[in-house]
Every structure is written in C-alpha cells, then in structure tokens.
C-alpha cells in the first residue's frame, strides 16, 4: 500500500503538493472555526449567566420586602366584634441584609 502511494507521488508531484496544501488548509480552517464557535458559545453562556444573576438579585430584593407592622383601622374594633373582615393598613420597608 505504501509503495503504491509512493509511486503515485512520484508520478504526480504537482498534484501531491496541491492535495497536501488543500488538506493542510482544511485542517487549519476546521481548527479556526472550532475556536470561533467555542468563543461564541462561551460569550452566549456569559450573557445568560449575567441575566440570571440580575434576575436573582431582583428576586432577592423582592423577597426582602417584608411586612413590618400592620395597624388596625379606626373601625377595626367594631368589625372584629362582628367576626367579619379585619381591615388593616400595612406598611412595607426593605429589610436589611446581613
């Protein structure tokens, strides 16, 4: 088999050179595009991670809203005696994170 390949190269040295150059070029292009695609993928992942981090911070800020205290309204005593709804005016503030 190797002798046949050597004979082919001896008979067509120009075509062997062209095939070698084309093969080398194809391998180089494959490696370059592989690196480019990997970089593009990593950039997309970084953008998604950034969005998730921002969304997580937003969720944490919403969760940190806590009900601090509720003050019964003026007529609450009369309504509580009737066992009906209890109207409360509630005040919210951000809870400090340690």
What single-letter DSSP state applies at residue 64? T
Q: Which of 39, 42, 37, 96 is nearest to 64 (CA)?
A: 96
pTM of the model: 0.48
pLDDT digits (tens, 9 = 90+) for 1-13: 888 888 887 888 8
Q: Which of 91, 94, 96 is nearest to 69 (CA)?
A: 91
Q: What is the pLDDT of residue 67?
A: 44
Average pLDDT value for residue range 17-26: 93
Per domain, the residue ranges of the chain are 1-63, 66-98
Extract the tokens encoding 29.
Answer: 């292009």
pLDDT digits (tens, 9 = 90+) for 29-53: 999 999 999 999 999 999 999 999 9
């Amino acid at each position: 088999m190797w002798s046949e390949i050597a004979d082919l190269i001896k008979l067509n040295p120009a075509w062997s050179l062209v095939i070698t150059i084309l093969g080398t070029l194809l391998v180089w292009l494959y490696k370059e595009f592989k690196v480019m695609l990997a970089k593009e993928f990593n950039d997309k992942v970084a953008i998604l991670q950034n969005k998730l981090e921002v969304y997580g911070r937003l969720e944490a800020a919403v969760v940190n809203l806590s009900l601090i205290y509720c003050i019964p309204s003026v007529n609450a005593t009369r309504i509580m005696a009737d066992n009906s709804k209890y109207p409360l005016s509630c005040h919210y503030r951000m809870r400090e994170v340690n």
